[in-house]
Amino acid sequence: MNDIAPPPATLRVNLDSDALAANWHQLDRMSAPGRAGAAVKADCYGLGVDRCVPVLRGAGARDFFVAHWSEVADVVRYVPASDISVLHGLISRTETDYARAVGARPVINSLDQAKLWAEAGGGACDVMVDTGINRLGLAMRDLSDPLIATLDVVTLLSHLASADEASPSNRRQLKLFREARAMVKAKRYSLANSAGIVLGPDYTFDLTRPGLALYGGIPRPELTDDIRQVAYPQAALLLRRDLEPGDRVGYNGTYIADRALPSGIVSIGYADGFLRSRGGEALTHEGRVLPLIGKVSMDMIVLDLTNAPDLREGDWLDIPFDMPGAAQRCGLSQYELLTVIGHRLR
């Protein structure tokens, strides 16, 4: 059995590597006078570390951000460990030992984490300060603790809560981050995510941390003409079935055919990240629109093939993935559309 190759997959995501590299270059230009890093957490937002990190590294990215220590091993195959920051920081001696052995930098998020790192012998680290999102990060008042002054801080970071909208909180957070910068000596300072880059040079500091926009997301309309689509998911037609008037389709029979029509069963479902909230969408084939009928199942959907009666089993169909449009149609955020992509597509 081990010598027998499996048949070709009936799901795939075509990755436009040129678009990914171009997106990083555009965000890097917009980050001037600083430079752009790359958020590669969650398996590069669902598109795959093995495919995306080498492209980003080749484009010029030198700073990579993951959330969990479990993500480091995949990324370090392509970039030096010293270029990787782990956003969730440290909660155990096991993690401090791993960090020191591998060489990836923890992002210190509390005085307890700072103490844990110092007691383990310390070394290069990043520090997150909370300026208004109330997630990870030291409180502003904690920055004056003598323990923080003992850390070897490479990057002082904070995270904008509302960079994707015109919110007064952006200016408030900027003001607080400038105060934090005056309190913590670091080699560089970083505030802006993808949307934050659009807010301009006041927000970019030394290093930005784009994520969504790298992979084709549009967090602010100003990026519409600058960011290219990266992911193009496709699914194969498994079976054709001719429906008669009155035939019910799928679970609970929510679709009832009002005429004779050709239908197609397609190899994608909610186990692949094509959630039931996308039930009102249509797939396409060479520009022809194929509406989805009935409920999304775990591993398949059913389409009305009236507009493409010539389709046959094995033909590849395009799944809409224009990020803002797809998000608006199904009610998911662009982040969710990306990160729920199932492993079977890869």
The CA R_g of the chain, rounded to the nearest whole Å, is: 23
| Inter-CA distances, 304 with 237, 292, 309, Å | 12, 6, 9
Element containing residue 112 per DSSP (H, E): helix 111-119
The CA distances from residue 346 to 55, 221, 310, in Å, are 16, 29, 28
Of the listed 78, 203, 251, 335, which one is catalytic? 251
Look at the block and give the residue holding tokens 């309190």: 183
Cross-strand pairs, 302: 265, 293
Instruction: Please enumerate in sequence order all residues whose Cβ is within 8 A of that of 155, keeping only pairs 6 or more positions apart, or say none.
Output: 63, 85, 126, 127, 186, 187, 188, 189, 190, 206, 207
Summary count for the chain: helices (H), strands (E): 12, 18
The residue count of the chain comes to 346
Annotated catalytic residue 41: yes
Q: What angle do CA 111, 113, 118 make, to 5 degrees?
A: 95
Alpha-carbon span 217 to 56, nearest angstrom? 16
- Residue 251 annotated as catalytic: yes
Residues annotated as catalytic (active site), given as ranges: 41, 251
